[in-house]
Amino acid sequence: MKRRGRGIACMWYPIGFTVAANPSAAVVKINEDGTATLLTGTVETGQGSLTILAQIVAEELGIATDDVHVVSADTDTTPMDTGAIASRTTYVTGNAARLAAEKAKGILFEVAAPLLQVKADQLEVCDRKIQVKGFPQRHIDIGDVADRARGVNGQPPIGSATFNPATVALDPETGQGKPFATYVYATQIAEVDVDDETGEVEVLRIVASHDCGTPINPMLVEGQVEGGISMGVGFALEEEILFDASGRQVNSNLTNYIMPTSLDMPEVVVEIVDSYDPTGPFGAKGVGEPTCVSTAAAILNAIHDAVGVRVTSLPATAEKVYAGIKAKRAQEAKQITAG
């Protein structure tokens, strides 16, 4: 019969490694029509990084996300990036983009200050305008200021910046130091049915709570968590590279290397735990890789809760789970006989 179980697993994950140099650079150019152009070396692979970088620049400049043209991953024009790796883009590249936008904005503030008869530090941006803090009726359009910065002041509003997470080398004696800039945390809970006659595991539901700092784009955060969980389900129950005696992979195809289909995936509930990291762009950290860290552990804990079997090698195939159930029954029968 089917037995229901629940398991929980928690994790932390580092964002912004500092063991080696880990820089990102960005250039932000504010155009005379009030739009902006961002040059970044990072690569979009569908995770939505370029959307998030555009959002960060837009937020810094008080313009709309659609107003930011992103030029990316072109060695002719963009700064080299450490990579769309290590769950670092929002944090490291995002910080570089924000700093570059801040510098370009600083040029506009210097130009706008005498026009509005205030000091530059009394200005702020909002709705495509530069305005006096506390007196939003005193404002000039960003595009007009950008045009004047170039045409009258002779200083086009272009900012470039680099962000490299702060490094504290690890002490060779104690191993102490600061290997990463910041950390994210998550807890996932899995609910499973285990068939105690076949060992087959069905994952019914996964609830995932993830801290990623301030979620700049919650829909994209959800997409990352849902995708990571599907990789975690595969890792827990299905995916295994098999080799023959000579070391040749025997399942190098999707017929025999089994990964989750839409029918294998449980209902996934994503909870974003909103927090604020003062070192991240607008409080953001990262979310990519951390999403699949707890899934397999939660599922295997749920299997244990359902049938009392600890599977210690992945994937927990029906065969392994059933072998565990059989061994447990044999052990229990022995104890009854001995008693």
**Shortest separation between residue 258's beta carbon and other proteins, angstroms:** 10
- Looking at the Cβ atoms of 222 and 289, the one nearer to other proteins is 222
Minimum Å gap between C-beta 63 and other proteins is 22
Q: Given the DSSP bridges, would you call strands 129-132 and 36-40 parallel, antiparallel or unpaired?
A: unpaired
Query: ∠ CA(163), CA(218), CA(237), 5° rounding?
Result: 100
**Residues within window 146-205 making contact with other proteins, judged by CB under 8 A:** none
Q: Is 173 a catalytic residue?
A: no
Cross-strand bridge partners of residue 213: 284
Residue 83 within binding range of other proteins, rule CB under 8 A: no
- Decide if residue 46 touches other proteins (CB under 8 A): yes
Nearest approach, Cβ of residue 194 and other proteins (Å)? 20
d(CA 278, CA 45): 27
Give the side-chain half-sphere CA count within 13 A for 29: 12
Is the Cβ–Cβ distance between 298 and 218 less than 8 Å?
no
Residue whose structure tokens are 């022995």 = 334
Taking the C-alpha atoms of residue 334 and residue 114, their distance in angstroms, rounded to an integer, is 90
Part of the chain binding other proteins (CB under 8 A), chosen from 86-94, 134-142, 242-250, 263-271: 263-271
CB 44 within 8 A of CB 177: no
Q: Pick from 1, 263, 336, 338 the residue near other proteins by CB under 8 A.
A: 263
Residue 112, classed as helix, strand or coil, is: helix
Of the candidate residues 14, 16, 48, 213, the single one contacting other proteins (CB under 8 A): 48
Pull the structure tokens for residue 32: 């005379």
Annotated catalytic residue: which of 59, 226, 289, 332?
289
Site string for other proteins, 223-262 (x = CB under 8 A): x--xxxxxx---------------------xxx---xxxx
Place of tokens 């995708």: 227
Please report how close the Cβ of residue 265 comes to other proteins at its closest, in angstroms.
5
The residues annotated with a catalytic role in the active site are 289
Residues at the interface with other proteins (CB under 8 A): 45-48, 219-220, 222-223, 226-231, 253-255, 259-263, 265, 268
